[in-house]
Structure 1
Amino acid sequence: MRLLVTRDDYFEAAMRLLATEGAGNLKIGVLCKSLKVTSGSFYGYFGSFEGFVTEFLVYWEESQTDRIVRLANAPADPVERIHLMKELAGQVPHDAEAAIRSWAHTAPQVAEAQKRVDERRLEALEAVLRPAVGSRREARTLAMMGITLLVGLQQWRSPVTHAEFDLLFNEFEAVALNRVADRAAS
């Protein structure tokens, strides 16, 4: 047995389990076994499975949305921000995210978190695109396209390969950058 694990160790193990076995196998015993700890460690941190789910969803939102938004907004250059957002989106654990989306169909708490993540990602992508394309409406439309591509790819493919992601999102980036060029020309 391991002597010490952190909350983040549990969350990262949960992401791996979701990616490989789905939400149906996300259970206390499976998590503890994967980390080589006793269930007492789990209960010491979270109190219950529901407590774990609450904290896990916060971790997921922060690590896979809020962190990406902060990083993507760091560059001043709008074109660089678009490229960085694409690169960061490519690093999202797509298989785990597909499992979370599936889990959301049966767990209201997960569905609420999924809805927040989707809306936050849409707003963030729109904010990245707007300075580059100029129009709020066009930025919103492109952001909707980007989120739809991401969710669609995650639901369609398992595993999502880097080649498939790059194929779609290099094209999406090109469309966005064409809008930037069109704006600069006019």
Structure 2
Amino acid sequence: MATTASRDAYLRIGLEILASDGYGALKQSEVCRRMGVTTGSFYHFFRNWADYTSALPDYWFTTHTQSHLGPLLAEPDADVALDALISYGLMLPHGAEGAIRSWSSADPAVRRVVEVADQLRYDVVHNIVGRVLDPEAGARYAHWALLIIIGYEQTTLSVDLDTLRWTAAQWVESISRERASVSTERTAAGVPTERTAAG
């Protein structure tokens, strides 16, 4: 069944190809085959193949990083933002991301997009965990979060979403333990916690 042709549809198909078969399978003929259209349709939306491959990493960044993380920065409740952050990390198109990261090793333009995405993700985690704990802890947990995601996407070992979900749970549990420890230390020192200060 043919997919309704649009610029976004072509780019979504590109991410699907990256996710299922890797960067080596990303060919104009395969994109058009999966779209169920002729190559003539392709040129209604893209000047040439280079135009398409230039647009695809930007599309990934806009739709799978920027559009999701912007609202998290605006969320006033850090705990709500943290829960949403975990959901976001689990729903990423990890197969496509792994392929884009491999692609970036050979294409400086793609690498720049990946670097911007990683920096934004780092900044958002730093911001959220920094509010739950403190900025120094936010930096540590932001690095850890990226190591989890990038490692998951690049490993050649057999892993699955349940493994990632378990790993994310350990990350969150570590934050919770550190938070409880800080609260206990403040209570012992007679420093009001947010809860007691507000109540």
Shift of residue 3 of structure 1? 8.0
- 119-128 vs 67-76, greater mean Cα deviation: 67-76
Equivalent in the alignment of 1:141: 140
Task: Provide closer, same or farther for how the CA distance between residues 26 and 48 of structure 1 changes in structure 2, counting only shifts above 3 A.
Answer: same
Name the TM-score, length of structure 2 as normaliser: 0.85
Separation (CA, whole Å) in 2 of partners of 1:10 and 1:159 = 30
Separation (CA, whole Å) in 2 of partners of 1:3 and 1:19 = 18
Q: Residue 168 of structure 1 aligns to which amino acid in structure 2?
A: T
Residue 45 of structure 2 corresponds to residue 45 of structure 1: yes
Equivalent in the alignment of 1:27: 27
Task: Provide closer, same or farther for how the CA distance between residues 46 and 160 of structure 1 changes in structure 2, counting only shifts above 3 A.
Answer: farther
Shift of residue 33 of structure 1? 0.6
Which ranges of 4 or more aligned residues in structure 1 deviate by more than 4 Å?
Answer: 157-160
Shift of residue 129 of structure 1? 1.1
Residue 44 of structure 1: SS of its match in structure 2? coil
Task: Provide closer, same or farther for how the CA distance between residues 20 and 109 of structure 1 changes in structure 2, counting only shifts above 3 A.
Answer: same
**Contact (CA 8 Å) 1:154, 1:160: kept in 2 or not?**
no
**Contact (CA 8 Å) 1:133, 1:180: kept in 2 or not?**
yes
Give per-residue Cα distances to partners, 1:52-74, cap 9 Å, x unaligned.
12221221111111122124335
* Map 1:1-186 → 2, pairs under 5 A: 2=2, 4-134=4-134, 136-156=135-155, 160-185=159-184, 186=186
Separation (CA, whole Å) in 2 of partners of 1:183 and 1:11 = 46
**Contact (CA 8 Å) 1:46, 1:52: kept in 2 or not?**
yes
Task: Provide closer, same or farther for how the CA distance between residues 131 and 3 of structure 1 changes in structure 2, counting only shifts above 3 A.
Answer: closer
**Contact (CA 8 Å) 1:79, 1:177: kept in 2 or not?**
no
Separation (CA, whole Å) in 1 of partners of 2:6 and 2:157 = 29
Residue 45 of structure 1: SS of its match in structure 2? coil
Residue 106 of structure 2: SS of its match in structure 1? coil
- 145-154 vs 159-168, greater mean Cα deviation: 159-168
How many residues matched?
A: 185
Task: Provide closer, same or farther for how the CA distance between residues 14 and 158 of structure 1 changes in structure 2, counting only shifts above 3 A.
Answer: farther
Task: Provide closer, same or farther for how the CA distance between residues 47 and 173 of structure 1 changes in structure 2, counting only shifts above 3 A.
Answer: same
Q: Residue 147 of structure 1 aligns to which amino acid in structure 2?
A: L
Percent of counterpart pairs with the same letter? 22
Separation (CA, whole Å) in 1 of partners of 2:2 and 2:155 = 37
- When Rg is computed on C-alpha atoms for both structures, the one with the higher figure is 2
Higher relative contact order (CA 8 A, sep 6+): 1
Give the unaligned 5+ runs of structure 1: none
Shift of residue 158 of structure 1? 7.1
Give per-residue Cα distances to partners, 1:16-74, cap 9 Å, x unaligned.
10011111111111101100011122122110112112221221111111122124335
Separation (CA, whole Å) in 1 of partners of 2:179 and 2:78 = 9
Separation (CA, whole Å) in 2 of partners of 1:68 and 1:3 = 25
Residue 37 of structure 1: SS of its match in structure 2? coil
> What is the root-mean-square deviation of aligned Cα atoms in Å?
1.9
Q: Residue 53 of structure 1 aligns to which amino acid in structure 2?
A: T
Residue 47 of structure 1: SS of its match in structure 2? coil
